[in-house]
């Protein structure tokens, strides 16, 4: 059977094949029909050359042209919604409705449209003008971006149309997408629409390219190639750290979203006040999408006592009775089983679940574990390793002081949440714990579970290592996410007609925010 | 003789000594009187612990308090100007006037005052508020910052009061300063003033600490220590890459300014129009401070022809007759000799200079080399290695196409300049070369030499690897330089009274720029 073609320099063509693979329906464990190629380095090399040519052409295009492309890609994806979500469901077992059709696909096209608006407007680039010295600077494209997408968002973080893609393109860069091998068909459908949109809107042929799979050495080589501007990666810590080492050694920026257990502290007066509501929120957040979110609450920190015991009992009960979902792949199920075993080896006990199976296809019982604060502190490294899926570890701290030490033992995370009494009864504990949690997480939540990452300009979907590779950047939230894929460019004494439009005397749109002599304004430079 | 004390946790005390050293007067090659300690790891460890405590206290302090400290440090340094510049002159051979007293010291205290203003105002943190979603974010301190200062700016980039120091403190972080061993006495005088200012203004004892010298393994260990937030380094590529590898492996941000040859393209019609003026500017830029600037124009790209030959002849003449300055140290002189030899091995010929000595103490003749474009392209790696000091390589390209290829062969640099006809006669060549130079440099200059890095909000003193470690950050220019030493922090559904002042409904100063629902404003959130 012929392998599906890859997309190189505007053409769908056969890969230089180093191997082949098929996706699997995780709900039936049956392989799906189509076969996809593993590319050799030659495909990467050709993609890189086309991307370099595209990068040069994109630098000469206006934000409005790039925006047109992104808007058109969103329209085309919306128009193929049914086919896309049907295949995504087959490849991932995520529910068609509401998850894929009503949440993730609209999120995906909304991100593309927000990125288009950011590209059109230009304010994302923080144009900064010192009139008297005639020194002007802004962020500008960094060059070809390699995007490696994750398994858990087949649409919204897909390498050919997701968050990193939208940010890289909106910042003016071509993208070399490396699809996730668990949903190649979904990626193909999305890439067809995006490629057609690129054609329709006059993008260079190398603006969007797609490879389905690489040998591991070629992935590292790609992230370190001199022709690459930067890499965006979402996935496991193990793969992420290897890519990081390769990119770092070559001096290439890489943005990684690797792993996070997203601690949730629930203080006793919050439970006394509204336990049922918090149980609902916690169970929903833990089990949604079978827990396969980067912001899944994998660690809940409680103070030992009656309220906390009642909370855990209620959660365990709900975990046992809730349906067990299908996991994204067999590898996710076996990794989850190994991770739970790892937590047990660290001293945690199973409260609910803990066994393989229980749902259709690849699955693992909804799992709640518990451990004392003292034991957590004794095995902090093992007990904060991520168990990706529908499992969560509760830690019962003896008192606020011990809870503080637990928080201080945590490595970097994407999020941290604290539930506290609305009447102020937990305020002392809140202050104590929040001050320690704050530097360890990218996003601090109040009375709220971490799943559901709003695409807001104020969002931070990032955090200290090893949650990501650098604590100054966010993968979600436009326009900030664009700045990952840019370099700071300064013009010193350059004549006005030679400046990029963003920095010329005249405000390019009349509405672009620029910082002129320390003042943010829409005005032209006088 | 007793060794000079180090500054740990607010106390001047004897080091845990792993060795000792003395500085040298480069103009006489005589060692100076005082002896300074090489610290063992125990000193680093104690400094780290004190810095962690200070970081927690600084997080609770207002920008106004930190500003008060920086302003007071500037005042104290100004008041000790004569003693400071006298000792800096002895240790570096840089001229007291105008360089040290009239340029570098005022620049230093000006940077401290600009950083104070940025800390007081808070706009540097890009506070961003999504009112409806109640998601708010801003940049915030990253934790203890290790600053390793260079040899060539004993004041303005000194680790205890220079650009990185000012940026790290203004962003709310304690600094562990590692002085440069070629000017320890200057560093000591500056640290005494800064420490006294910290005392007077109620800073935590670990806010500013000073070590004079470390074993090489301990420097790497410091940059990778879990207690460190980030590192700022200015110096050689060799040392920078080692530090980068250590920090990268630990997932610690590091900002490096390593090496740059700062290509200057001079187009023929510019020479036809104003050769004398360009010769003056080039010679001044090359020889100022004996060429010991990170933005020294080390490579000049010319088009072969009569104008360019006349330019080179005039420059060579000026190089031969100009006084030969003293270099910062014997190591700088020997490295310069080796670098010039390296350029010769790559095929370059000496036009002027090329010999050791000629000035007081450590010195090297003002040196101009030349090479054909063809030869440059054949040995591009060797011919673009930095020769730090009063030497420059000229490349004679056969035509604009060859000049383009030369520019495309360049690695990342801090700056790139193009001189062109004011009447538009070089416009085609300008466009061709500027489009290729732009992505390879942080700052593109028009008709201007790269030395003299203005402390402007629009400045970019950064650039693609290996000029620095990441092309998105600048080491000069306030407020942008502060953001290197910060992490992005987001607050999701956090109650208003628990938010940091920068993100609370009320604008904290009434004048802080915040991006509220996409609009930059001074207003309170309604």
Query: Which of A142, A433, A460 is the best mutation test for B, with the most CBs of B within 10 A?
Result: A460
> Does the beta-carbon distance from A128 to B457 stay under 8 Å?
yes
**Residues of A labelled as active-site residues:** 257, 294
- CB-based contacts of B192: which residues, under 8 Å, 6+ apart? none
Residue B284 forms contact with A (CB below 8 Å):
no
Is A381 touching B (CB cutoff 8 A)? no
* Burial of A345 from C-beta contacts in 10 A (0-12 / 13-18 / 19+): exposed
Minimum-distance CB partner of B129 among A458, A483, A513:
A458
Which residues of chain B does A130 touch, with a Cβ-Cβ cutoff of 8 Å? 454, 456-459
**Contact call for A490 and B252, based on CB within 8 A:** no
Nearest to A474 among B244, B474, B488 (CB): B488
A430 vs B: CB within 8 A:
yes
Helices in A41-162 by DSSP H: which ranges?
A: 41-59, 63-79, 81-92, 105-121
Q: Residue B403 above 80 pLDDT?
A: yes
Number of CB pairs, chain A paired with chain B, less than 8 A apart: 199
Express each pLDDT in B442-478 by its tens digit. 999 999 999 999 999 999 999 999 999 999 999 999 9
CATH number among 3.40.309.10, 1.20.1050.10, 3.40.640.10, 3.40.190.10, domain B264-446: 3.40.309.10
Alpha carbons within 13 A on the beta-carbon side of A513: 18
Output the CA angle A148-A153-A158, nearest 5 degrees: 40
| CB distance A381 to A347 below 8 Å | no
Q: Which residues of A touch B248 (CB under 8 A)?
A: 244-245, 248-249
Question: Hey, are the CB atoms on B460 and A488 less than 8 Å from each other?
Answer: yes
Distance in angstroms (rounded) separating the CA atoms of residues B355 and B365: 6
Distance CA A501, CA B501 (A): 36
Q: What are phi and psi of B236, to 5 degrees?
A: -80, 155
Element of type H or E holding A432: helix A427-437
Cβ B492–A448 below 8 Å, yes or no? yes
| Buried b or exposed e, range A98-110, using 16+ CB within 10 angstroms | ebbbebbbbbbbe
> Which of B249, B447, B492 is the mutation pick for testing A, counting most A CBs within 10 A?
B492
In B225-267, where does DSSP find H-type helix? Answer: 237-249
Nearest chain B alpha carbon to A496: B446
Q: What is the pLDDT of residue B2?
A: 86
Residues 450-479 of A with CB under 8 A from B: 454, 456-460, 462-466, 469-474, 477
B65 close contact with A: CB closer than 8 A: no
Distance CA B34, CA B405 (A): 52
| Mutant choice from B132, B265, B471, B521 vs A, greatest count of A C-beta within 10 A | B471
Mutate to test the interface with A, among B49, B407, B460, B523 (most CBs of A within 10 A): B460
Which ranges of A128-215 would DSSP assign to H, the alpha helix? 163-170, 184-200
Measured from the Cβ of residue B345, the count of other Cβ atoms closer than 10 Å reads 11
Mean pLDDT to the nearest integer, B135-153: 98
Buried b (16+ CB within 10 A) or exposed e, B23-58: bbbbbeeeebeeebbbbbbebbbbbbebbbbbbbeb
Q: Could A244 and B248 be called an inter-chain contact, meaning their C-beta atoms sit closer than 8 Å?
A: yes
**CA-CA-CA-CA torsion for B81, B87, B93, B98, nearest 10 degrees?**
10
Task: Look at residue B6 and tell me whether its pLDDT is greater than 70.
Answer: yes
Helical axes B268-287 vs B306-321, angle rounded to 10°: 20
Q: Tell me the C-alpha to C-alpha distance, in Å, between residue A521 and each of A142, A489, A512.
A: 26, 20, 8
Instruction: Quickly tell me which residue has 């992490």 as its tokens.
Output: B487
Cβ(A281)–Cβ(A439) below 8 Å: no
Q: State how far the Cα of A203 lies from the Cα of A225, in Å rounded to an integer.
A: 24
Listing DSSP states for B149-203 in one string gives --SS-TTTT-TTTSHHHHHHHHTT--EEEE--TT-HHHHHHHHHHHHHHHHHTT-
Task: Indicate the class that CATH gives domain A33-258+474-481.
Answer: alpha beta
ipTM of the complex: 0.98
B334, B362 contact by CB (below 8 A): no
Nearest to A472 among B59, B486, B495 (CB): B486
CA gap A373, A308 in Å, rounded: 13
Please tell me the CATH superfamily of domain A263-446, with its number. Answer: Aldehyde Dehydrogenase; Chain A, domain 2 (3.40.309.10)
Residue B1 has pLDDT above 70, yes or no: no
Cβ of residue B480 closer than 8 Å to a chain A Cβ: yes
Helix (H) or strand (E) holding B107: helix B105-121
The answer to whether B382 touches B346, Cβ cutoff 8 Å, is yes
Chain A residues with CB-CB distance to B493 below 8 A: 445-448
Task: Locate all alpha helices (DSSP H) within A122-183, ordered by sequence.
Answer: 163-170
d(CA B190, CA B100): 14
Q: How far apart are CA B223 and CA B233, in angstroms?
A: 10
* Chain A contact set for B281 (CB, 8 A): none
Which residues does chain B have within 8 Å of residue A472's beta carbon, measured at their own beta carbons? 139, 142, 253, 483, 486-488
Per-residue pLDDT band at B106 (split at 50, 70, 90): very high
Of B129, B252, B493, nearest to A445 by CB-CB distance is: B493
Distance from CA of B372 to the nearest CA of A (A): 25
**pLDDT by residue for chain A (526 residues), tens digit each?**
689 999 999 999 999 999 999 999 999 999 999 999 999 999 999 999 999 999 999 999 999 999 999 999 999 999 999 999 999 999 999 999 999 999 999 999 999 999 999 999 999 999 999 999 999 999 999 999 999 999 999 999 999 999 999 999 999 999 999 999 999 999 999 999 999 999 999 999 999 999 999 998 999 999 999 999 999 999 999 999 999 999 999 999 999 999 899 999 999 999 999 999 999 999 999 999 999 999 999 999 999 999 999 999 999 999 999 999 999 999 999 999 999 999 999 999 999 999 999 999 999 999 999 999 999 999 999 999 999 999 999 999 999 999 999 999 999 999 999 999 999 999 999 999 999 999 999 999 999 999 999 999 999 999 999 999 999 999 999 999 999 999 999 999 999 999 999 999 999 999 999 999 999 999 999 9
| Chain A environment of B471 (Cβ under 8 Å) | 142, 253, 487-488
Identify which of A510, A498, A479 has the alpha carbon closest to the alpha carbon of residue A111.
A479
pLDDT at A70: 98
Q: State the Cα–Cα distance between residues B25 and B37, nearest whole angstrom.
A: 18
Tell me if A443 and B143 make a contact (CB, 8 A cut-off). Answer: no
Q: State how far the Cα of A399 lies from the Cα of A304, in Å rounded to an integer.
A: 7
Q: Do B472 and A493 touch (CB under 8 A)?
A: no
In Å, how far is B248's CA from the nearest CA of chain A? 7
Reference B390, options B315, B478, B308; nearest CA is B315
d(CA A208, CA A166): 11
Q: Is A471 in contact with B480 (Cβ distance < 8 A)? A: no
Written as one string, the DSSP assignment of A456-500 is: -TT-----STTSBS-TT--SSSTTGGGGGGEEEEEEES--GGGS-
pLDDT at B369 over 70: yes
CA distance, residue A439 to nearest chain B CA (Å): 8
Q: Residue B245: is the preceding peptide bond cis (ω within 30°)?
A: no
Structure tokens at A380: 């902090």
Min distance B288 CA to chain A CA atoms (Å): 20
Residue among A137, A251, A412 whose CB faces B465 most closely: A251
Q: Which of B490, B500, B515 is the best residue to mutate to test the A interface, defined by the most A CB atoms within 10 Å of its own CB? A: B490
Average pLDDT over residues B185-191: 98
Contact residues on chain B for A249, CB-CB shorter than 8 A: 245, 248
- Contacts of residues A71-76 at CB distance under 8 Å and 24 or more positions apart, as own/partner, are A71/A112, A71/A113, A71/A116, A72/A197, A72/A200, A72/A201, A73/A112, A73/A161, A73/A193, A73/A194, A73/A197, A73/A198, A74/A108, A74/A109, A74/A110, A74/A112, A74/A113, A74/A116, A75/A109, A75/A197, A76/A193, A76/A194, A76/A196, A76/A197
Nearest-CA distance B518 → chain A (Å): 8
Considering CB atoms only, which of A135, A459, A465 is closest to B456? Answer: A135
Residues A124, A171 contacting (CB under 8 angstroms):
yes
Between CA A65 and CA A116 the distance in angstroms is 9
What span, in angstroms and rounded, lies between the C-alpha atoms of A522 and A514?
6
* Contacts for B428 with CB less than 8 Å, ≥ 6 apart: B400
Which A positions 398-427 lie with beta carbon below 8 A of chain B?
A: 412, 415
On whether the CB atoms of residues B195 and B161 are closer than 8 A, the answer is: no
The pTM of the full predicted model, rounded to 2 decimals, is 0.98
Residue B304: burial class (beta carbons within 10 Å; 0-12, 13-18, 19+): middle
Residue of B412, B435, B458 lying closest to A129 (CB–CB) = B458
- Answer whether B137's CB lies under 8 Å from A464's CB: no
Kindly identify which residue of chain B lies nearest to residue A436, measuring between CA atoms: B56
Q: Do the Cβ atoms of B487 and A472 come within 8 Å?
A: yes
d(CA B230, CA B208): 15
- How would you label A493-524 residue by residue, b for 16+ Cβ within 10 Å and e otherwise? ebeeebbbebbbeebbbeebbbbbeeebeeee
Q: How far apart are CA B420 and CA B493, in angstroms?
A: 55
Give the homologous superfamily in CATH for domain B69-116+132-251+483-493. Answer: Aldehyde Dehydrogenase; Chain A, domain 1 (3.40.605.10)
- Give alpha helix (H) positions in B324-413: 330-345, 373-378, 380-383, 400-408
Question: What 3-state class would DSSP assign to B77?
Answer: helix
The DSSP secondary structure of B298-337, one letter per residue, reads -EEEEESSHHHHHHHHHHHHHHHHSPPPPPS-HHHHHHHH
Beta bridge partners of A211: A178
The residue extents of the domains of chain B are 69-116+132-251+483-493, 264-446
Smallest Cβ–Cβ distance between A490 and the set B250, B444, B520 belongs to B444
Catalytic residue IDs of B: 257, 294
């Amino acid at each position: 059977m012929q392998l599906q073609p890859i997309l190189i320099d505007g053409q769908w063509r056969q890969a230089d094949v180093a191997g082949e693979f098929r996706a699997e329906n995780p709900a039936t464990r049956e392989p799906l029909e189509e076969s996809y190629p593993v590319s050799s380095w030659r495909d990467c090399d050709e993609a890189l050359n086309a991307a370099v040519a595209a990068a040069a052409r994109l630098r000469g295009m206006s934000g409005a042209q790039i925006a047109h492309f992104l808007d058109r890609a969103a329209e085309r994806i919306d128009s193929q919604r049914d086919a896309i979500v049907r295949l995504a469901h087959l490849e991932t077992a995520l529910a068609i409705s509401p998850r894929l059709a009503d949440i993730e696909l609209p999120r995906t096209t909304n991100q593309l449209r927000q990125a288009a608006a950011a590209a059109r407007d230009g304010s994302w680039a923080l144009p900064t003008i010192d009139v008297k010295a005639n020194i002007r600077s802004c962020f500008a494209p960094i060059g070809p971006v390699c995007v490696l997408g994750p398994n858990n968002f087949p649409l919204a973080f897909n390498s050919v149309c997701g968050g990193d893609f939208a940010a890289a393109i909106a910042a003016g860069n071509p993208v070399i997408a490396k699809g996730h091998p668990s949903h190649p068909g979904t990626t193909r459908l999305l890439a067809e629409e995006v490629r057609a949109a690129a054609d329709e809107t006059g993008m260079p042929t190398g603006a969007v390219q797609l490879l389905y799979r690489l040998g591991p050495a070629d992935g590292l080589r790609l992230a370190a190639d001199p022709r690459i501007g930067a890499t965006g990666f979402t996935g496991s810590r193990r793969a992420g750290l290897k890519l990081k080492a390769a990119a770092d050694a070559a001096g290439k920026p890489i943005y990684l979203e690797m792993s996070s257990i997203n601690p949730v502290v629930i203080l006793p007066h919050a439970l006394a006040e509204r336990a049922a509501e918090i149980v609902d929120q916690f169970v929903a957040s833990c089990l949604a999408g079978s827990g396969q979110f980067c912001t899944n609450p994998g660690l809940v920190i409680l103070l030992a006592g009656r309220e906390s015991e009642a909370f855990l009992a209620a959660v365990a009960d709900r975990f046992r009775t809730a349906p067990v979902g299908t996991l994204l792949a067999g590898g996710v199920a076996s990794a989850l089983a190994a991770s739970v075993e790892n937590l047990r080896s660290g001293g945690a006990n199973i409260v609910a679940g803990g066994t393989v199976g229980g749902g259709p296809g690849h699955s693992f019982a909804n799992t709640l574990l518990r451990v004392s604060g003292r034991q957590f502190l004794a095995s902090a490294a093992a007990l904060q390793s991520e168990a990706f899926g529908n499992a969560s570890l509760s830690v019962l701290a003896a008192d606020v002081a011990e809870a503080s030490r637990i928080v201080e033992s945590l490595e970097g995370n994407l999020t941290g949440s604290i539930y506290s009494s609305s009447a102020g009864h937990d305020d002392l504990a809140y202050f104590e714990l929040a001050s320690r949690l704050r530097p360890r997480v990218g996003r601090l939540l109040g009375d709220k579970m971490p799943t559901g990452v709003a695409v807001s300009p104020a969002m931070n979907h990032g955090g200290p290592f090893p949650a990501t590779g650098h604590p100054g950047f966010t993968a979600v939230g436009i326009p900030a996410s664009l700045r990952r894929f840019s370099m700071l460019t300064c013009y010193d004494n350059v004549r006005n007609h030679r400046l990029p439009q963003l920095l010329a005397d005249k405000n390019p749109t009349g509405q672009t925010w620029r910082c002129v002599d320390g003042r943010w304004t829409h005005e032209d430079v006088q």
